[in-house]
A and B are shown apart, each in its own frame.
Chain A
Protein backbone atom coordinates (compact mmCIF):
# COMPACT_ATOMS: atom_id res chain seq x y z
CA UNK A 1 0.00 0.00 0.00
CA UNK A 2 1.30 3.45 -0.95
CA UNK A 3 1.04 6.81 0.78
CA UNK A 4 -1.54 9.30 -0.48
CA UNK A 5 -0.16 12.52 -1.96
CA UNK A 6 -1.98 14.60 0.65
CA UNK A 7 -0.16 12.82 3.45
CA UNK A 8 3.17 13.18 1.68
CA UNK A 9 2.46 16.87 1.28
CA UNK A 10 1.71 17.23 5.00
CA UNK A 11 4.92 15.35 5.80
CA UNK A 12 6.98 17.55 3.49
CA UNK A 13 5.66 20.74 5.06
CA UNK A 14 5.89 19.51 8.62
CA UNK A 15 2.11 19.63 8.94
CA UNK A 16 1.68 16.12 10.28
CA UNK A 17 1.77 14.70 13.81
CA UNK A 18 4.76 12.84 15.23
CA UNK A 19 3.21 9.36 14.84
CA UNK A 20 2.41 9.83 11.16
CA UNK A 21 5.78 11.49 10.60
CA UNK A 22 7.60 8.42 11.81
CA UNK A 23 5.35 6.02 9.85
CA UNK A 24 5.82 7.99 6.63
CA UNK A 25 9.60 8.27 7.10
CA UNK A 26 9.85 4.50 7.65
CA UNK A 27 7.69 3.77 4.62
CA UNK A 28 9.67 6.13 2.39
CA UNK A 29 12.90 4.32 3.26
CA UNK A 30 11.50 1.06 1.94
CA UNK A 31 9.24 2.06 -0.96
CA UNK A 32 10.72 3.25 -4.26
CA UNK A 33 7.35 4.23 -5.73
CA UNK A 34 6.54 6.51 -2.82
CA UNK A 35 10.07 7.85 -2.76
CA UNK A 36 9.76 8.88 -6.43
CA UNK A 37 6.36 10.37 -5.74
CA UNK A 38 7.88 12.31 -2.85
CA UNK A 39 10.74 13.64 -4.99
CA UNK A 40 8.31 14.78 -7.71
CA UNK A 41 6.18 16.47 -5.07
CA UNK A 42 9.23 18.17 -3.60
CA UNK A 43 10.09 19.55 -7.06
CA UNK A 44 6.59 20.90 -7.58
CA UNK A 45 6.61 22.54 -4.19
CA UNK A 46 9.97 24.15 -4.93
CA UNK A 47 8.42 25.57 -8.09
CA UNK A 48 5.52 27.05 -6.14
CA UNK A 49 7.89 28.49 -3.53
CA UNK A 50 10.03 30.12 -6.20
CA UNK A 51 7.19 31.89 -7.99
CA UNK A 52 8.15 35.45 -8.82
CA UNK A 53 5.21 37.26 -7.28
CA UNK A 54 4.96 41.09 -7.19
CA UNK A 55 6.48 42.90 -4.23
CA UNK A 56 6.00 46.41 -2.89
CA UNK A 57 8.21 49.18 -4.29
CA UNK A 58 11.51 50.10 -2.64
CA UNK A 59 10.08 53.34 -1.26
CA UNK A 60 7.33 51.51 0.56
CA UNK A 61 9.09 51.17 3.95
CA UNK A 62 10.20 54.82 4.11
CA UNK A 63 6.86 56.21 2.93
CA UNK A 64 4.80 54.04 5.24
CA UNK A 65 6.98 54.62 8.31
CA UNK A 66 6.90 58.39 7.72
CA UNK A 67 3.12 58.32 7.42
CA UNK A 68 2.69 56.18 10.54
CA UNK A 69 4.99 58.39 12.61
CA UNK A 70 3.45 61.65 11.41
CA UNK A 71 -0.04 60.35 12.28
CA UNK A 72 1.20 59.20 15.69
CA UNK A 73 2.47 62.72 16.40
CA UNK A 74 -0.73 64.47 15.35
CA UNK A 75 -3.05 62.10 17.10
CA UNK A 76 -2.81 63.84 20.50
CA UNK A 77 -5.20 66.74 20.00
CA UNK A 78 -5.33 69.16 22.96
CA UNK A 79 -8.93 70.15 22.24
CA UNK A 80 -10.05 66.60 22.99
CA UNK A 81 -8.78 66.90 26.57
CA UNK A 82 -10.37 70.37 26.93
CA UNK A 83 -13.66 69.03 25.61
CA UNK A 84 -13.58 66.05 27.94
CA UNK A 85 -12.88 68.25 30.99
CA UNK A 86 -15.64 70.72 30.08
CA UNK A 87 -18.07 67.88 29.57
CA UNK A 88 -17.12 66.46 32.92
CA UNK A 89 -17.64 69.81 34.73
CA UNK A 90 -21.00 70.31 32.99
CA UNK A 91 -22.18 66.85 33.98
CA UNK A 92 -21.13 67.35 37.62
CA UNK A 93 -23.03 70.67 37.71
CA UNK A 94 -26.12 69.04 36.24
CA UNK A 95 -25.83 66.30 38.81
CA UNK A 96 -25.50 68.78 41.69
CA UNK A 97 -28.48 70.73 40.40
CA UNK A 98 -30.50 67.57 40.12
CA UNK A 99 -29.75 66.53 43.71
CA UNK A 100 -30.51 70.04 44.97
CA UNK A 101 -33.83 69.98 43.11
CA UNK A 102 -34.84 66.66 44.58
CA UNK A 103 -33.92 67.67 48.12
CA UNK A 104 -35.28 71.22 48.15
CA UNK A 105 -38.20 71.54 45.81
CA UNK A 106 -41.63 71.46 47.28
CA UNK A 107 -43.27 69.31 44.68
CA UNK A 108 -46.86 69.74 43.73
CA UNK A 109 -47.11 66.37 42.10
CA UNK A 110 -46.91 63.22 44.18
CA UNK A 111 -43.62 61.40 44.03
CA UNK A 112 -43.25 58.27 46.10
CA UNK A 113 -40.31 58.01 48.47
CA UNK A 114 -39.20 54.85 46.65
CA UNK A 115 -38.98 56.66 43.31
CA UNK A 116 -37.12 59.60 44.78
CA UNK A 117 -34.63 57.28 46.52
CA UNK A 118 -33.98 55.45 43.26
CA UNK A 119 -33.53 58.75 41.46
CA UNK A 120 -31.25 60.12 44.16
CA UNK A 121 -28.89 57.15 44.19
CA UNK A 122 -29.13 55.58 40.74
CA UNK A 123 -28.84 58.60 38.50
CA UNK A 124 -25.67 59.94 40.12
CA UNK A 125 -24.23 56.45 39.93
CA UNK A 126 -25.03 56.17 36.21
CA UNK A 127 -23.52 59.59 35.65
CA UNK A 128 -20.39 58.64 37.55
CA UNK A 129 -19.99 55.48 35.48
CA UNK A 130 -20.35 57.56 32.35
CA UNK A 131 -17.65 59.95 33.56
CA UNK A 132 -15.33 57.05 34.31
CA UNK A 133 -15.90 55.74 30.80
CA UNK A 134 -14.95 59.12 29.33
CA UNK A 135 -11.66 59.21 31.20
CA UNK A 136 -10.95 55.53 30.87
CA UNK A 137 -7.38 54.76 29.92
CA UNK A 138 -6.78 51.36 28.42
CA UNK A 139 -4.17 49.50 30.43
CA UNK A 140 -1.90 47.47 28.21
CA UNK A 141 -0.91 44.45 30.24
CA UNK A 142 2.40 43.71 28.54
CA UNK A 143 3.82 47.22 28.84
Chain B
Protein backbone atom coordinates (compact mmCIF):
# COMPACT_ATOMS: atom_id res chain seq x y z
CA UNK B 1 0.00 0.00 0.00
CA UNK B 2 1.45 3.38 -0.99
CA UNK B 3 1.83 6.29 1.41
CA UNK B 4 -1.06 8.07 -0.33
CA UNK B 5 -3.36 5.07 0.11
CA UNK B 6 -2.39 4.68 3.77
CA UNK B 7 -3.10 8.36 4.37
CA UNK B 8 -6.41 8.14 2.58
CA UNK B 9 -7.49 5.13 4.66
CA UNK B 10 -6.51 6.79 7.94
CA UNK B 11 -8.15 10.11 7.09
CA UNK B 12 -11.43 8.33 6.26
CA UNK B 13 -11.28 6.22 9.42
CA UNK B 14 -10.63 9.26 11.55
CA UNK B 15 -13.50 11.20 10.01
CA UNK B 16 -15.86 8.27 10.42
CA UNK B 17 -15.06 7.25 13.96
CA UNK B 18 -12.31 9.50 15.34
CA UNK B 19 -10.17 6.40 15.45
CA UNK B 20 -7.19 6.60 17.79
CA UNK B 21 -5.16 4.22 15.62
CA UNK B 22 -5.68 6.34 12.52
CA UNK B 23 -4.77 9.47 14.43
CA UNK B 24 -1.57 7.84 15.71
CA UNK B 25 -0.71 6.58 12.23
CA UNK B 26 -1.11 10.00 10.64
CA UNK B 27 0.91 11.76 13.34
CA UNK B 28 3.64 9.12 13.24
CA UNK B 29 3.90 9.16 9.45
CA UNK B 30 4.14 12.94 9.12
CA UNK B 31 5.67 14.12 12.39
CA UNK B 32 9.21 14.38 11.02
CA UNK B 33 8.24 16.31 7.91
CA UNK B 34 5.99 18.68 9.84
CA UNK B 35 8.49 19.24 12.65
CA UNK B 36 11.41 19.71 10.29
CA UNK B 37 9.48 22.17 8.13
CA UNK B 38 8.76 24.21 11.27
CA UNK B 39 12.31 23.85 12.53
CA UNK B 40 13.78 24.99 9.20
CA UNK B 41 11.94 28.29 9.69
CA UNK B 42 12.01 28.74 13.47
CA UNK B 43 15.42 27.26 14.33
CA UNK B 44 14.54 26.24 17.87
CA UNK B 45 13.62 22.63 18.67
CA UNK B 46 11.24 23.31 21.57
CA UNK B 47 9.30 26.03 19.79
CA UNK B 48 9.26 24.06 16.53
CA UNK B 49 7.75 21.13 18.42
CA UNK B 50 5.04 23.33 19.92
CA UNK B 51 4.23 24.72 16.49
CA UNK B 52 4.21 21.24 14.96
CA UNK B 53 1.72 20.15 17.59
CA UNK B 54 -0.42 23.16 16.76
CA UNK B 55 -0.23 22.22 13.08
CA UNK B 56 -1.62 18.74 13.78
CA UNK B 57 -4.42 20.20 15.91
CA UNK B 58 -5.36 22.61 13.14
CA UNK B 59 -5.18 19.89 10.51
CA UNK B 60 -7.42 17.44 12.39
CA UNK B 61 -9.89 20.20 13.18
CA UNK B 62 -10.19 21.08 9.50
CA UNK B 63 -9.84 17.53 8.22
CA UNK B 64 -13.40 17.52 6.80
CA UNK B 65 -12.32 20.35 4.49
CA UNK B 66 -9.64 18.23 2.84
CA UNK B 67 -10.92 17.53 -0.67
CA UNK B 68 -8.68 14.60 -1.48
CA UNK B 69 -7.61 12.41 1.46
CA UNK B 70 -4.69 11.06 -0.59
CA UNK B 71 -3.10 14.50 -0.50
CA UNK B 72 -2.95 14.69 3.29
CA UNK B 73 0.85 15.04 3.36
CA UNK B 74 1.15 18.05 1.10
CA UNK B 75 -1.90 19.58 2.78
CA UNK B 76 -0.46 19.30 6.29
CA UNK B 77 2.94 20.51 5.07
CA UNK B 78 1.34 23.62 3.63
CA UNK B 79 -0.33 24.24 7.01
CA UNK B 80 3.03 23.68 8.74
CA UNK B 81 4.84 26.09 6.45
CA UNK B 82 2.23 28.84 6.81
CA UNK B 83 1.89 28.42 10.57
CA UNK B 84 5.66 28.51 11.13
CA UNK B 85 6.03 31.64 9.01
CA UNK B 86 3.16 33.32 10.87
CA UNK B 87 4.73 32.45 14.21
CA UNK B 88 8.10 33.71 13.09
CA UNK B 89 6.58 37.01 11.99
CA UNK B 90 4.69 37.39 15.25
CA UNK B 91 7.43 36.48 17.66
CA UNK B 92 10.60 37.03 15.64
CA UNK B 93 12.44 33.85 16.54
CA UNK B 94 16.07 33.90 15.69
CA UNK B 95 18.52 31.12 15.43
CA UNK B 96 20.46 30.87 18.68
CA UNK B 97 24.16 31.08 19.37
CA UNK B 98 25.25 28.41 16.88
CA UNK B 99 25.93 31.20 14.42
CA UNK B 100 28.92 32.71 16.10
CA UNK B 101 30.46 29.44 17.23
CA UNK B 102 30.90 27.70 13.90
CA UNK B 103 31.52 30.02 11.05
CA UNK B 104 32.48 27.92 8.07
CA UNK B 105 32.28 30.81 5.66
CA UNK B 106 36.03 30.95 5.11
CA UNK B 107 35.88 27.27 4.11
CA UNK B 108 39.01 26.63 6.11
CA UNK B 109 39.79 22.95 6.24
CA UNK B 110 41.45 23.19 9.63
CA UNK B 111 38.25 24.54 11.17
CA UNK B 112 36.05 21.77 9.82
CA UNK B 113 38.63 19.10 10.70
CA UNK B 114 38.66 20.15 14.33
CA UNK B 115 34.90 20.06 14.78
CA UNK B 116 33.38 17.23 16.77
CA UNK B 117 30.43 15.30 15.35
CA UNK B 118 27.93 17.36 17.33
CA UNK B 119 29.59 20.60 16.30
CA UNK B 120 29.69 19.47 12.70
CA UNK B 121 25.98 18.63 12.89
CA UNK B 122 25.24 22.07 14.35
CA UNK B 123 27.31 23.76 11.68
CA UNK B 124 25.40 21.93 8.95
CA UNK B 125 22.06 22.77 10.54
CA UNK B 126 23.12 26.39 10.78
CA UNK B 127 24.18 26.47 7.13
CA UNK B 128 20.80 25.05 6.08
CA UNK B 129 19.01 27.66 8.18
CA UNK B 130 21.06 30.37 6.49
CA UNK B 131 19.58 29.41 3.13
CA UNK B 132 16.57 31.41 4.29
CA UNK B 133 12.92 30.70 3.61
CA UNK B 134 11.60 28.94 1.66
CA UNK B 135 14.93 27.50 0.42
CA UNK B 136 15.75 25.80 3.72
CA UNK B 137 12.31 24.15 3.90
CA UNK B 138 12.59 23.05 0.27
CA UNK B 139 16.01 21.55 0.92
CA UNK B 140 14.82 19.63 3.99
CA UNK B 141 11.66 18.33 2.32
CA UNK B 142 13.55 17.20 -0.76
CA UNK B 143 16.63 15.59 0.76
CA UNK B 144 15.45 14.42 4.16
CA UNK B 145 11.75 13.83 3.66
CA UNK B 146 12.06 12.46 0.13
CA UNK B 147 9.40 14.69 -1.36
CA UNK B 148 9.47 15.29 -5.11
CA UNK B 149 9.74 18.83 -6.45
CA UNK B 150 6.10 18.54 -7.54
CA UNK B 151 4.93 17.61 -4.02
CA UNK B 152 6.97 20.43 -2.50
CA UNK B 153 5.54 22.88 -5.01
CA UNK B 154 2.01 21.86 -4.01
CA UNK B 155 2.77 22.10 -0.29
CA UNK B 156 4.47 25.48 -0.39
CA UNK B 157 2.29 27.03 -3.07
CA UNK B 158 5.11 27.52 -5.58
CA UNK B 159 5.62 26.40 -9.15
CA UNK B 160 7.60 23.23 -9.80
CA UNK B 161 10.27 25.10 -11.78
CA UNK B 162 10.60 27.66 -9.00
CA UNK B 163 11.14 24.88 -6.45
CA UNK B 164 13.80 23.35 -8.68
CA UNK B 165 15.61 26.67 -9.10
CA UNK B 166 15.58 27.32 -5.36
CA UNK B 167 16.71 23.78 -4.64
CA UNK B 168 19.64 24.02 -7.05
CA UNK B 169 20.59 27.43 -5.65
CA UNK B 170 20.47 26.16 -2.07
CA UNK B 171 22.44 23.09 -2.97
CA UNK B 172 25.18 25.19 -4.57
CA UNK B 173 25.39 27.47 -1.53
CA UNK B 174 25.63 24.52 0.83
CA UNK B 175 28.19 22.81 -1.34
CA UNK B 176 30.41 25.88 -1.09
CA UNK B 177 29.95 26.29 2.65
CA UNK B 178 30.33 22.66 3.54
CA UNK B 179 32.93 21.68 0.97
CA UNK B 180 35.42 20.37 3.53
CA UNK B 181 32.80 18.45 5.44
CA UNK B 182 31.55 16.91 2.19
CA UNK B 183 35.14 15.94 1.33
CA UNK B 184 35.52 14.26 4.72
CA UNK B 185 32.37 12.34 3.98
Of A22-30, A54-62, A77-85, A123-131, the one touching chain B: A54-62
Query: Across the interface, do A6 and B28 meet the contact criterion of CB distance under 8 Å?
Result: no
| Set of chain B residues within 8 Å of A69, measured between Cβ atoms | 18, 20, 23
CA distance A43 to B40 in the complex (A): 24
Instruction: Tell me, yes or no, whether A63 is within 8 Å of chain B by CB.
Output: yes
Query: Across the interface, do A15 and B39 meet the contact criterion of CB distance under 8 Å?
Result: no
CA distance A67 to B68 in the complex (A): 24
- Closest A residue, CB atoms, query B34: A56
> Chain A's interface: helix, strand, loop or mixed, by majority?
helix
Instruction: Tell me, yes or no, whether A44 is within 8 Å of chain B by CB.
Output: yes
| Set of chain B residues within 8 Å of A57, measured between Cβ atoms | 49
Count of A-B contacts judged by CB separation below 8 Å: 98
| Set of chain A residues within 8 Å of B69, measured between Cβ atoms | 142
Instruction: Tell me, yes or no, whether B182 is within 8 Å of chain A by CB.
Output: yes
CA distance A57 to B139 in the complex (A): 22
| Set of chain B residues within 8 Å of A54, measured between Cβ atoms | 35-36, 39, 45, 48, 125
Query: Across the interface, do B32 and A49 meet the contact criterion of CB distance under 8 Å?
Result: no
Given A9-B168, A67-B53, A69-B20, A56 contacting B143 (CB threshold 8 A): no
| Set of chain B residues within 8 Å of A61, measured between Cβ atoms | 24, 27-28, 31
Residue of A45, A60, A67 with most chain B CB atoms under a 10 A cut-off: A60
| Set of chain A residues within 8 Å of B109, measured between Cβ atoms | none
Instruction: Tell me, yes or no, whether B12 is within 8 Å of chain A by CB.
Output: yes
Query: Across the interface, do A48 and B53 meet the contact criterion of CB distance under 8 Å?
Result: no
CA distance A67 to B181 in the complex (A): 41
Can you add 19 more A-B contacts, CB < 8 Å, to A55-B35, A142-B12?
Answer: A9-B171, A15-B149, A15-B164, A43-B185, A44-B175, A46-B185, A48-B143, A48-B171, A49-B143, A51-B124, A53-B125, A57-B49, A64-B53, A65-B20, A68-B23, A68-B57, A71-B57, A71-B60, A138-B64
A residues adjacent to B (C-beta < 8 A): 6, 9, 15, 43-57, 60-61, 63-65, 67-69, 71-73, 75, 138, 140, 142-143
A-B contact pairs, 19 of them (CB 8 A): A15-B149, A44-B182, A47-B182, A48-B139, A50-B185, A51-B128, A51-B143, A54-B125, A60-B49, A61-B24, A61-B31, A64-B27, A65-B24, A68-B23, A68-B60, A71-B61, A72-B60, A140-B15, A143-B12
In the A-B complex, the 3 residue pairs with the smallest Cβ-Cβ separation, listed nearest first, are A56-B35, A48-B143, A68-B60
B residues adjacent to A (C-beta < 8 A): 8, 12, 15-16, 18, 20, 23-24, 27-28, 31-32, 35-36, 39, 45, 48-49, 52-53, 56-57, 60-61, 64-65, 68-69, 121, 124-125, 128, 139-140, 143-144, 148-149, 164, 168, 171, 174-175, 181-182, 185
